[in-house]
Structure 1
Amino acid sequence: MIPRVLIVAGSDSGGGAGIQADIKTVTMLGGHAMTAITAITAQNTLGVQAVHAVPVDIVVAQMRSVIEDIGVDAVKIGMIGSAETAHAVADLLDQLDVPIVFDPVMVSTSGSVLADAAAMAAFERLMGVASVVTPNIPEMAALGGEAAVLAHGCHVVAKGGHGEEAEITDRLLSPQGELRRLIGKRFDTVDTHGTGCTLASALATGLASGLGIEAAFEQAVRFVRIAIVNAPGLGGGHGPIGHTLGVVPFDELEG
């Protein structure tokens, strides 16, 4: 059966991140994407101009609708919108026995804040139900550091894209220690909008397909790096990556 991935996240009108990036990622990796939209945003490569939160009962109704009919093999959580939504989503997901990937979205690539203090405090609930949490460097610090996140019993993908080094190091951690690290060159580009959403959705699709956590991690990192290389160069700011524009030899990503 085709891997069924439920995405709980916000919509990006510019198509670079959020639900739009998630759907493209899941589809390109051979899965069936289903969505529960938590917020509607007006945004482009320059920033986020407006956000409209979807009522909590509608978010939950979207989730129940697909869970009860189509079924779910993995869940990806992105922009959550509010603390109330976070708790409601956690309550429902607590009833499922599938991999759950939580990308703790706080700030967009352009610097726009996408989670207030109350929502970030409620991330504790989501980390409690998550199988894997995928923070970038600033998000990891805001969550209290690696040890604090791992204390929830989940795996962690510690992303290195926000570092300053010439090479990017992405690490897969478990409560017992580091499982895997991938090192690749840093590309000289501003077209990285949607990388976090894409990695989390790629990871969820791999897990939904039956891959082990290490294999799913490697596939997700590789998919993101290929998409960065294939960024179409749209907009005047932080442009979207290229989910659907083909592939490049793996040695070009690593050399």
Structure 2
Amino acid sequence: MDQLCLEAVEAYIHAGLPTDAATALLVEVSGLPHAVNEETDRISEIGRTHGARTIRVAQDEAERALLWKGRKTAFGAIARIKPNYYLHDTVVPRRKLNEVLQEVYRIAQRHDLLVLNVFHAGDGNLHPLLVFDKREPGVMERVLAAGEEIVRVSVAAGGVLSGEHGIGLEKREFMPLMFGPHDLHAQSAMRVAFDPLGIANPFKVLPSPSSCGDAHNIGEDMWV
């Protein structure tokens, strides 16, 4: 969790998180007591080697649960800052995490947006939260533009479009960033083979020349 996220979470759960720290990394280990102690010592050593200011080890189940509550309630805690958020869940190589994160901050700044980062560092799965108030005129255009830039930067760094939330409708137009025409055709052919009538979750994942609304002659002013 980055500093803005730490501030929001700490104001919500009061877990003693370091709100003056640039980031906090939560690491959990499991196994036999001896192995857990060894891994904890090793993790602490690595942290200090790389400049960790403080190493905090949960002393009981209650403290462990409280620390993880901070991570799990982060999305709700940001409502203290702005009522709405928009995120992508791209994955980048772990060696590129810092590079991509710095670019995410620059993208948000260019679009006059606030971004909070809380994500799965272990597998490079980013969750940049662009926070905003949708009542502000023109803000959604800026949010969507920033989101697209984040996706493009992630893919350019050797990453992928999604780590856990899927492609759906939102990311389908980004599929050509990762797959060529032949790849997309092969994926489409496989889909047709299993669903020739196109009734299983239509218009999702693969780029389409029309939308669900177009196919059913629903006016643009109607919500689908």
TM-score interval (norm. to shorter): under 0.3
Higher relative contact order (CA 8 A, sep 6+): 1
Rg bigger for which structure?
2
How does the TM-score come out when normalised to structure 1? 0.24
Higher helix share: 2
Higher strand share: 1
How does the TM-score come out when normalised to structure 2? 0.26
